[in-house]
Structure 1
Amino acid sequence: MEINKKEKFYKIGEISKLYNISSDILRHYDKIGLVSPDFIGDNGYRYYSKKQIWKLNNIRNLRNLGFGLKEIQDFLDERNINSATEILELQLKKIQENIANLQELKEEIENKLTNIEFFKNFKDFDKPIIKYIPKRKFLRSKGLFNKEWEIDFEHKILNAKTEYDNDFILTNNEMGATITQENFLAGKYDTFSETFIINDERGEILEEGYFLTIVFKGSYTNINKYYEILKDYILENNLEILGDAHEIYHIEKHITEDEKEFITEIQIPIKRN
């Protein structure tokens, strides 16, 4: 081809740095005919002119919108005011979706911060308290679990089934595990019949009612002590147990690595006298 010596040409390395695109990707674009160099010099270098470079702006924007290379090629080959309008409308839709997702994430983080702040200022540790709890959604995983890592693994699987893309630290979901009423009465406090996530989107309804609760701070290794406190309180006050015991992990290892900062709540449904 005839080369205009007054025109500035750019080597592939220069284009790569300018657009933060690897040389390998540029070579692939050349191979499929998406963006080809104006010429290849005797030294084997690829040289691009400004006439080719403008395509990279469109390619980068369309790739960010999730377009495939074939779709991008079709647009570049037959672009017109109608196709450009469709692209802009699609981009606007994507932006609106991103704003909605960010707003949802903002609300989740604000709720999480409120929850953390509540427990940072909480005073009624180690006290049996009867309280009314509204109905909640429990997304459950049935099984037999004894180890902390087993419970944590099941929680990750459950969280993937919710509507949330983020891990527990960025959502208001709370996780826990269940001890059957039978095992609670038998003193088997390390045998769990299910794990669960409390969330707003999916799961079985745990009906509202009164629960005997206790909140404690520190390692899970001390949890037997708190089950015994609740069991004594039930006997002393002649309470009727209506179901299984639930452990709720309010502050846990996704938030802090310091076990002294862990905050756990045990909830047992009861019939209030």
Structure 2
Amino acid sequence: MFTIGEFSKLGRISPRMLRYYDAMGLLRPTRIGENGYRYYEAAQLETLAEIETLKDYGFALSEIGELLTLSGQELAVRLHRRRLAAYDEIYTLRKKLRQMEDAMMKMEKCNLLKDQYHVIVMETPAQRVYGIRRKINISETGDLFEELYKKVDELGLTRCGAAQQVYLGEEFSYESMDIEAQVEVSGEHPDVKVIPARLCVATTHIGPFEGLHNAYDAICSWLAEHPEYKVIGPSVERYLKDVDMVKDEEELETGILFPVQKLQ
């Protein structure tokens, strides 16, 4: 038998926490002496380890007493539920981080945008694309790309690169966006067009689409600091990792490109 002090050293846990576990009925001493001293057996170290593991998994102490009584199969079910809950917690934390970053950007916008977004000037290669142009509400974007992919299949074309959205209107409007949904394709069709190689100012946004405005702000700030470049065409959102490629929207990757000309 071990005294509470000896047992706490072996289990790497404080005597105060052992007394708390005793009060909760999670881990009672094997014997309490006439002097009130608590004594534990070596076998109880395994129970203590199980308690600490379940606590690390995020289970509340009020749940752990029941969990210790479950069979292996029953415990596996509970662990699966806890795993799903942990993913939800991660998603919520990531969302809060994004919100904090947005708030911080409003306070220190210029410096934070430079830290988060690396704006570059790049020569984009030529693309062979098939596209569908529509005036839509922003909520209809997903439907437009579904229509695009269906049409590509019907025409016997093969997707061979990223999809992208080109903003063609003179003004931006959530209610009536003039856009062309495009996707790189292989195969021949009269409506397949070639976008020539061109110079672009670009950056990449990682995360939900709701934060794309920060990437646009970063490029606008960069252009304001580099008046030698002039925008000569509509902006492009290129979906490098779209919703079909990731499990979590935090993993989305979207390229923002503005065709430019360097002034002499």
TM-score normalised according to structure 1 size: 0.47
